[in-house]
Structure 1
Amino acid sequence: MENFDKQKLENLNATKHYSSYPKGEFPPFLAYGFRPIFLLLAPYIIISIILWSFTFAGYINLSFIQDPLTWHMYEMLFGVGIAGFIAFFLTGAPELFPGTIPVVGKHLAALVICWALGRIGFWFMDFVGIYTVAILNIASIIWIVAIIFKPVVLDPRKRHLSLAINVLVILALQIWFFASLLGFSESSSNAIIIASLGAFIVLIILALRRINMEAINELLEDEGIDETFFSRAPRYNLAVFCISLYTFVEFFYPANSVLAYLAIASAASVLAIINDFILKDHNILLKPFVMYMISVLILTSIAYAALGYDYLNEELYALNHFRHFLTTGVYGLVFYLVMMIISTIHTGRHLFTNIYTSIGVILIIVATFTRALIPFYEEFLMQAYIISSILWAIPFIIYIKICFPYLLNKRADGIPG
């Protein structure tokens, strides 16, 4: 503590955990929640998407997986998403709720091992059984809920209650998914996963509001711009409402014509969030990092506009392809950017962009359009699958190259965490 000015320390978003950091020495890879998760998640994403594309194309055979499509959908949504829960909430809770003790060391290792066992279990579900896999995966989310429950409930302003509610919704959907696999529910497991995608997109919108506030204000401060960026709650709330309503109606009334207009409303409400990036005295729209975050919103808007377009047709021929604007595009880009942001800011470094980070963003966008627009060149379906998967994996290789040294070493500023 003697090495830092106390007042300055209190004003730095990335160091609010310092006064509550546990006593003792911890290896860097267990010194904060995001570190072990990102060290495992980046390689896992690369391996999973490459294996899936070559399996779908028939070049390899994962004979130990009876239903490769369900495995692919679940792992890329819940497998990756639960890791995102762990990293986001364990990193954010000590900052969002001052006084919350960061989860580090053995406690952190146990939580990460639980997540990893869930991944291994789902790969070998036919051998270990659905009950074992369900318990492992559900336990990971319940563990996170238990960690954030007290600070969320005790917060007198209930500022982040929406995040906690969304996590509970996703937990319920995951339980419902396994109940479907076990025969306790007649609902289609694939339909539940699609509904879960909507819930994850809502979580992404809610999380982006917090992430944008921190990251962009950090960027403004680094560049000496005397202005504050605000994420306007009403715009985000409208987007959350529209997406939630669309997801609800799509699950319970999948053929209803109103879905076209709900999808278009979702697209418009997400696009409106871009107005937040128009500052009063400075133009930040063309700054690389800002353009990255705007790209997430544009891809989300394109996704729902494309879904709405397909619902306006008499034959729904492209819904599952257009949905990849959300999975390949929004999901992939958000994880890539958030992993970059957290790995940089929360290891005591200034947020930066370079040609490699930009290439990563471009490749994810190109991969998204290659995959989502397959209905317009179905004769090249297999090639498009493989090309888009490889392009999508490369940014996470870039992330490994840039950020793994940060994750494996102590913070650059000497602060624990």
Structure 2
Amino acid sequence: MRRPSGATANDAQLAFVGALLLMIALTAGFYLDALRGEPPARWLLAQLGAFMALIIIAMSRISMRIVNASIEERQDAEQAAQTAFDAVEAPERYIARPPRRNLAIICIALFTTAQWYQPGGRISAWLALAAACAMLNLMGDWHVGRALWRRWPLMLYASYAAMAAGYGLTGLSLLGDGLLANGSLHLLTIGGLGLSIYAVIAIAGYTHSGLEKDDRAWVPVGACLLATSAPLRAAASLADAPIPLLALSAALWCIAFTLMGWHMLPVFMRPRADGRSGCAGVLGED
């Protein structure tokens, strides 16, 4: 993608430093309240809101390449199936539109702020529902046909779906008796945060190691384990005997990231396969 006019080469690094400083400040606030004997949970919830916003920002960059690559692969497959006399219509490119993305970030920020000042209030409930609607609206950009059903875009899309479900369940819970508040929190952490981290490591981990992405079965298997772990953990909030569900959810989460560690740690421990350095992409892509 072309860099916007006036942007410098250090913009991405400066954004990373700003996000890191924000996380450090929120973590320091947590420990400060804990040492003073104050309930520190508000800092964790604020940090979760910051993570959700950062996921949306990062996903807008990653998705532009992943979804469009899937569209191109789908087009190539269809073209190969056609005769030389049949014309294959060029597919529409996927664009991560800033208005939808910004709306989702604003709604999440407003909900996080409301929860800080009025935990469990009606305003927080409606803002959580607004955040869920904004996430569903953002997901509309991803509806590009069968190209979405390939492993890489589908994993990223599923993390957005978990975020929408988490905020939606949070809003409904706060409007009701609050029984699902804990479960909705785990939809955001295990589903939204966990699945997005898993997907990005699987994608960028190979690309920035000078390798093509791994097409073996362990990648979607691990993603499915995480996608199953999140609702199981949420369901445990309502179960009369939650321990089996909690244990199963934790086991699925651990298996997913153990799979990732088993396959990717050797990649990270050795020099780049293409001899390049830093975070450069696969040779020939840049």
TM-score normalised according to structure 2 size = 0.81
Q: Aligned-pair distance for 1:391?
A: 0.5
State the Cα deviation string for residues 377-408 of structure 1 (Å, max 9, x = none).
132x1112211111001111111232222212
Residue 273 of structure 1 is aligned with which of 127, 138, 141?
138
Q: Distance in 2 between matches of 1:224 and 1:409?
A: 35
Q: Which amino acid aligns with 2:157?
A: I
Corresponding residue for residue 245 of structure 2: 384
Q: Distance in 2 between matches of 1:166 and 1:240?
A: 14
Does the Cα contact within 8 Å between 2:67 and 2:147 map onto a contact in 1? no
Q: Aligned-pair distance for 1:242?
A: 0.3
Q: Distance in 1 between matches of 2:166 and 2:26?
A: 22
| 3-state SS, counterpart of residue 293 of structure 1 | helix
Q: Distance in 2 between matches of 1:162 and 1:416?
A: 21
Q: Aligned-pair distance for 1:356?
A: 1.5
State the Cα deviation string for residues 277-323 of structure 1 (Å, max 9, x = none).
234xx64121121111110110000000100110121x222212220
Q: Distance in 2 between matches of 1:160 and 1:222?
A: 32
Residue 242 of structure 1 is aligned with which of 107, 119, 122?
107
Q: Distance in 2 between matches of 1:392 and 1:350?
A: 25
Does the Cα contact within 8 Å between 1:218 and 1:351 map onto a contact in 2? no
Q: Aligned-pair distance for 1:340?
A: 0.8
| 3-state SS, counterpart of residue 354 of structure 1 | coil
Residue 228 of structure 2 is aligned with which of 337, 344, 366?
366
- Is residue 325 of structure 1 aligned with residue 187 of structure 2? yes
Structure 1, 296-305 or 391-400: larger mean CA deviation: 391-400
Q: Aligned-pair distance for 1:97?
A: 5.8
State the Cα deviation string for residues 64-86 of structure 1 (Å, max 9, x = none).
xxxxxxxxxxxxxxxxxxxxxxx
- Is residue 175 of structure 1 aligned with residue 28 of structure 2? yes
Cα distance change of structure 1 residues 299 and 310 upon mapping to structure 2, 3 Å threshold: same
Corresponding residue for residue 86 of structure 2: none
State the Cα deviation string for residues 190-245 of structure 1 (Å, max 9, x = none).
22112211111111111111222243345556677676432111111111000110
Q: Which amino acid aligns with 2:160?
A: L
State the Cα deviation string for residues 4-39 of structure 1 (Å, max 9, x = none).
xxxxxxx9x9xxxxxxxxxxxxxxxxxxxxxxxxxx
Q: Distance in 2 between matches of 1:254 and 1:325?
A: 19
Corresponding residue for residue 28 of structure 1: none
Cα distance change of structure 1 residues 409 and 97 upon mapping to structure 2, 3 Å threshold: farther
Corresponding residue for residue 157 of structure 2: 294
Corresponding residue for residue 259 of structure 1: 124
Corresponding residue for residue 201 of structure 1: 52
Q: Aligned-pair distance for 1:246?
A: 0.4
What does 1:38-49 correspond to in 2, within 5 Å? none
Unmatched tracts of structure 2, length 5 or more:
77-89, 279-286
Q: Distance in 2 between matches of 1:217 and 1:163?
A: 25
Corresponding residue for residue 42 of structure 2: 191
- Is residue 346 of structure 1 aligned with residue 208 of structure 2? yes
Does the Cα contact within 8 Å between 1:271 and 1:301 map onto a contact in 2? yes
Does the Cα contact within 8 Å between 2:70 and 2:147 map onto a contact in 1? no
Does the Cα contact within 8 Å between 2:206 and 2:267 map onto a contact in 1? yes
- Is residue 375 of structure 1 aligned with residue 237 of structure 2? yes
Does the Cα contact within 8 Å between 1:215 and 1:351 map onto a contact in 2? no
What does 1:200-219 correspond to in 2, within 5 Å? 200-219=51-70
| 3-state SS, counterpart of residue 148 of structure 2 | coil
Q: Aligned-pair distance for 1:162?
A: 6.4
Q: Which amino acid aligns with 1:338?
A: V
Does the Cα contact within 8 Å between 2:70 and 2:153 map onto a contact in 1? no
Which of structures 1 and 2 has the larger relative contact order (alpha carbons within 8 angstroms, sep 6+)? 1
Corresponding residue for residue 400 of structure 1: 261
Q: Distance in 1 between matches of 2:115 and 2:133?
A: 18
Cα distance change of structure 1 residues 353 and 308 upon mapping to structure 2, 3 Å threshold: farther
Q: Which amino acid aligns with 2:105?
A: V
**In the comparison of the two structures, how many residue pairs are matched?**
260
Unmatched tracts of structure 1, length 5 or more:
1-10, 14-95, 99-150, 153-158
Q: Distance in 2 between matches of 1:404 and 1:219?
A: 26
State the Cα deviation string for residues 167-208 of structure 1 (Å, max 9, x = none).
44333222211221232xx75212211221111111111111
Does the Cα contact within 8 Å between 2:235 and 2:245 map onto a contact in 1? no
Q: Aligned-pair distance for 1:347?
A: 1.3
State the Cα deviation string for residues 240-259 of structure 1 (Å, max 9, x = none).
00011001101101132122
Does the Cα contact within 8 Å between 2:66 and 2:152 map onto a contact in 1? no
TM-score normalised according to structure 1 size = 0.57
Does the Cα contact within 8 Å between 1:163 and 1:203 map onto a contact in 2? no
Q: Distance in 2 between matches of 1:405 and 1:219?
A: 27
Q: Aligned-pair distance for 1:344?
A: 1.1
Q: Distance in 2 between matches of 1:263 and 1:178?
A: 26
